[in-house]
Amino acid sequence: MIINVCSAFACLLFFLCAANAGAMSVSLIPSVPPPAAVGTVITWNPQVSGQAEGTLWYRFRARRTGEDFRMFRDYGPESRFDWTVSEHEGTYEIEVAVRNLDTGDTAVSSSLYEITPLAGNSPLISKTNHPLVLYYSAPACAAGSRMRVDFRGPDGIPHATPYKRCGKGLTMNFYIAGLLEKTPYVVNHVIDTGSSFVRGPELTETTGEVTLAFAPYKVLTSTYKTGVLLQSNLSQPNLATDLNGNLIWYYVGNVSSLTRPEKGGLFWGIYEDPNADPSHQIVREFDVAGNVLLETNAARVNEQLAAMGKRQISGFHHEARRMPDGKILVLGDVEQFLTDVQGPGAVDVIGDMILVLDKNLQVVWAWDAFDHLDTSRRATLNETCKAVGGGCPPFYNAAVANDWLHGNSLQLTPDGSILYSARHQDWVIKIDYANGSGSGDVLWRLGKDGDFTIESDDPYPWFSHQHDANFEYADPTKLTVFDDGNVRYASSQSAHSRGQVIQLDEWNRTAKLVLNADLGAYADALGSAQRLRNGDYHFDVGWIRGVNGEPDRGRSLEVDALGNIVYEIEVDTPVYRSFRMRSLYEP
pLDDT of residue 9: 35
Those residues whose C-beta lies under 8 Å from the C-beta of residue 530, and which sit 6 or more positions away, are: 468, 470, 480, 537, 538, 539, 579, 580
Q: Which helix (H) or strand (E) holds 122?
A: none
CA distance 307 to 329: 20
Q: Are residue 348 and residue 277 in the same domain, yes or no?
A: yes
Phi-psi region of 17 (alpha: psi -120 to 50; beta: other; left: phi over 0): alpha
Q: Are residue 141 and residue 258 in the same domain, yes or no?
A: no
Q: Are residue 386 and residue 315 in the same domain, yes or no?
A: yes
| Position 388 confidence tier, pLDDT thresholds 50, 70, 90 | confident
| Residue closest to 107 by CA, chosen among 173, 188, 50 | 50
Q: Are residue 67 and residue 183 in the same domain, yes or no?
A: no
In the predicted model, is pLDDT for residue 20 greater than 80? no
- 339 in a structural domain: yes
CA-derived radius of gyration, the chain: 25
- 235 in a structural domain: no
| Residue closest to 95 by CA, chosen among 49, 26, 36 | 26
CA distance 574 to 482: 15
pLDDT of residue 8: 38
Cα 264 to Cα 157, 162, 254, 567, distances in angstroms: 20, 7, 22, 26
| Domain final position from 99, 116, 133 | 116
pLDDT of residue 21: 40
Give the pairing of strands 346-357 and 400-403.
Answer: parallel
pLDDT tens, position by position, 127-171: 999 999 999 999 999 999 999 999 999 999 999 999 999 988 999
Cα 473 to Cα 229, 249, 313, distances in angstroms: 21, 28, 31
Helices (H) and strands (E) in the chain, counts: 4, 46
| Position 3 confidence tier, pLDDT thresholds 50, 70, 90 | very low
In the predicted model, is pLDDT for residue 449 greater than 70? yes
Q: 411 with 322: CB under 8 angstroms?
A: no
CA distance 324 to 435: 10
pLDDT of residue 53: 84
Return the biggest CA–CA distance within the chain.
Answer: 82
pLDDT tens, position by position, 26-40: 999 999 999 999 999
- 443 in a structural domain: yes
pLDDT of residue 166: 97
Q: Which helix (H) or strand (E) holds 575?
A: strand 575-581
CA atoms within 13 A on the CB side of 510: 6
pLDDT higher at 389 or 334:
334
DSSP-derived letter for residue 301 is: H
- DSSP E strand boundaries for 476-509: 478-483, 498-505
pLDDT of residue 7: 40
Name, of 6-20, 377-391, 497-511, the range with top average pLDDT.
Answer: 497-511
Q: Which amino acid is at 242?
A: D
In the predicted model, is pLDDT for residue 22 greater than 80? no
| Residue closest to 475 by CA, chosen among 493, 499, 507, 501 | 501
Strand partners, 297: 282
> What secondary structure, in 3-state letters, does 105-144 show?
CEEEEEEEEEEECCCCCCCEEEECCCCCEEEEEECCCCCC
% of the chain beyond a pLDDT of 70: 96
Average pLDDT over residues 508-524: 98
CA distance 343 to 385: 15
In the predicted model, is pLDDT for residue 397 greater than 80? yes
Q: Are residue 45 and residue 131 in the same domain, yes or no?
A: no
- Least trusted range by pLDDT, from 388-402, 407-421, 507-521: 388-402
pTM > 0.75: yes or no:
yes
- Least trusted range by pLDDT, from 18-32, 404-418, 554-568, 571-585: 18-32
Query: What is the secondary structure of 48-68 as a DSSP string?
Result: EESPPSS-EEEEEEEEETTS-
Sign of torsion, CA 363 405 480 315? positive
DSSP-derived letter for residue 312 is: P
CA distance 299 to 276: 11
Q: 24 with 51: CB under 8 angstroms?
A: yes
Structural domain of 137: 124-206
pLDDT tens, position by position, 268-295: 999 999 999 999 999 999 999 999 999 9
In the predicted model, is pLDDT for residue 222 greater than 90? no
CATH number at residue 93: 2.60.40.10
Average pLDDT over residues 35-56: 93
Q: Are residue 99 and residue 149 in the same domain, yes or no?
A: no
DSSP-derived letter for residue 70 is: E
- 573 in a structural domain: no
pLDDT tens, position by position, 52-95: 789 999 999 999 999 999 999 999 999 999 999 999 999 999 99
Q: Which amino acid is at 308?
A: M
| Position 226 confidence tier, pLDDT thresholds 50, 70, 90 | confident
Q: 57 with 76: CB under 8 angstroms?
A: yes
Q: Are residue 413 and residue 296 in the same domain, yes or no?
A: yes
| Position 389 confidence tier, pLDDT thresholds 50, 70, 90 | low
pLDDT tens, position by position, 231-266: 999 889 999 999 999 999 999 998 999 999 999 999
pLDDT of residue 181: 98
- 553 in a structural domain: no
CA distance 154 to 156: 5
Strand partners, 232: 577
Average pLDDT over residues 450-468: 97
- 459 in a structural domain: no
In the predicted model, is pLDDT for residue 223 greater than 90? no
| Domain final position from 428, 451, 474 | 451
Those residues whose C-beta lies under 8 Å from the C-beta of residue 254, and which sit 6 or more positions away, are: 271, 282
- 9 in a structural domain: yes
Q: Are residue 87 and residue 157 in the same domain, yes or no?
A: no
| Domain final position from 435, 451, 467 | 451
Those residues whose C-beta lies under 8 Å from the C-beta of residue 15, and which sit 6 or more positions away, are: none
DSSP-derived letter for residue 413 is: -
| Residue closest to 332 by CA, chosen among 311, 348, 346, 347 | 311
Q: Are residue 153 and residue 102 in the same domain, yes or no?
A: no
% of the chain beyond a pLDDT of 90: 92
CA distance 561 to 565: 10
pLDDT of residue 19: 34
Average pLDDT over residues 401-423: 97
Q: Which amino acid is at 293?
A: L
In the predicted model, is pLDDT for residue 469 greater than 60? yes
pLDDT of residue 200: 98
Q: Are residue 90 and residue 29 in the same domain, yes or no?
A: yes
**Number of folded domains that form the chain:** 3
pLDDT of residue 234: 87
In the predicted model, is pLDDT for residue 426 greater than 60? yes
- 14 in a structural domain: yes
What is the three-class DSSP state of 159? strand
Q: Are residue 272 and residue 328 in the same domain, yes or no?
A: yes
Task: Tell me phi and psi for residue 307, to 5 degrees.
Answer: -65, -25
DSSP-derived letter for residue 583 is: B
Q: Are residue 75 and residue 151 in the same domain, yes or no?
A: no
Q: 94 with 83: CB under 8 angstroms?
A: yes
